[in-house]
């Protein structure tokens, strides 16, 4: 099976979410895994599918930012300092049969290997060390199987997941202020090298200008108040 590497993209928060949603359909069409690294035209946060909008809206430090509900779970992610990526596994890929926590452990185990290649000591956060409940904001504290700097509880990488009939969408984030010596291009290429070796897939570039009509329709939906304030 192939891993399609999509071109780097810088878009507003709503279009970025729409593109990630579209990738689920593209993965089925191409029968391939898909990876894309992207950035943000404007200062933005995204928040998890099940989060309460009133709690997000009450945070003064997020006023004036683009705010969009993700199709995946998890907490608030401040995208003013992260390396953002999406990874899609089509349902024909055998690992999609794993349970959610097993999938998180698998993906973040690969990130630990990636950081090792980048010279950054890291490890998976031990679930036995996790307290009850979760934080409203993603990088306030680690959750089970998040990536932390070695021998610390400093969260380095997290991800949220959506499972559909088409496959699984991961929306992941690496907190760059913790690793200022690692640039985006180096991180992107190291991901492709290590992930393809670990997942047993072949890397292929996939060219698109992200102009598909489906994306435009989805972008409109992600802008709607009915989507963002639904909870």
In this structure, are residues 48 and 231 in contact, taking their beta carbons and an 8 Å threshold? Answer: no
Look at residue 62 and tell me whether its pLDDT is greater than 60: yes
C-alpha to C-alpha distance for 114 and 14, rounded to whole angstroms = 29
pLDDT at position 141, please?
73
Structure tokens at 66: 């683009």
Which of 18-27, 87-96, 121-130 is predicted with the least confidence, judged by mean pLDDT? Answer: 121-130
- The sign of the dihedral angle between the CA atoms of 145, 77, 27, 24 is positive
C-alpha to C-alpha distance for 110 and 30, rounded to whole angstroms = 24
Q: What is the mean pLDDT of residues 220-225?
A: 94
Hey, where are the domains in the chain? 2-228
- Strand, coil or helix: what is 18? helix
pTM above 0.85, yes or no: yes
- Strand, coil or helix: what is 19? helix
Strand order in the sheet with 44-47: 66-69, 44-47, 77-78
Look at residue 180 and tell me whether its pLDDT is greater than 80: yes
In this structure, are residues 41 and 95 in contact, taking their beta carbons and an 8 Å threshold? Answer: no
No. of H helices and E strands in the chain? 6, 12
C-alpha to C-alpha distance for 22 and 167, rounded to whole angstroms = 12
Q: What is the mean pLDDT of residues 15-19?
A: 96
Alpha-carbon distances, residue 101 vs 39, 141, 163 (angstroms): 27, 17, 13
The CATH architecture that domain 2-228 belongs to is 2-Layer Sandwich (3.30)
Per-residue pLDDT tens over the stretch 123-177: 999 867 655 445 566 677 778 899 999 998 899 999 999 999 889 999 999 999 9
- Strand, coil or helix: what is 53? helix
């Amino acid at each position: 099976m192939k891993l399609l590497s999509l071109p780097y993209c810088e878009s507003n928060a709503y279009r970025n979410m729409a593109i990630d949603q579209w990738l689920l359909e593209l993965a089925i069409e191409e029968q391939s895994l898909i990876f894309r690294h992207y950035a943000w035209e404007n200062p933005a946060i995204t928040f998890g599918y099940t989060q309460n909008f009133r709690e997000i809206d009450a945070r003064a430090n997020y006023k004036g930012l683009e705010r969009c509900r993700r199709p995946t779970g998890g907490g608030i992610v401040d995208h003013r300092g992260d390396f953002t990526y999406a990874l899609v596994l089509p349902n024909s890929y055998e690992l999609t049969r794993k349970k959610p926590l097993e999938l998180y452990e698998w993906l973040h185990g690969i990130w630990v290997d990636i950081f090792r290649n980048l010279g950054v000591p890291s490890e998976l956060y031990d679930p036995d060390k996790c307290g009850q409940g979760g934080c409203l904001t993603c990088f306030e504290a680690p959750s089970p199987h998040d990536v932390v700097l070695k021998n610390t509880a400093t969260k380095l990488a997290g991800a949220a997941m959506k499972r559909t009939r088409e496959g699984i969408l991961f929306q992941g984030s690496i907190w760059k202020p913790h690793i200022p010596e690692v640039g985006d291009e180096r991180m992107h290429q190291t991901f492709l090298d290590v992930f393809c070796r670990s997942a047993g897939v072949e890397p292929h570039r996939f060219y698109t200008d992200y102009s598909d009509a489906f994306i435009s329709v989805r972008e409109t939906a992600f802008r709607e108040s009915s989507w963002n304030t639904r909870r």
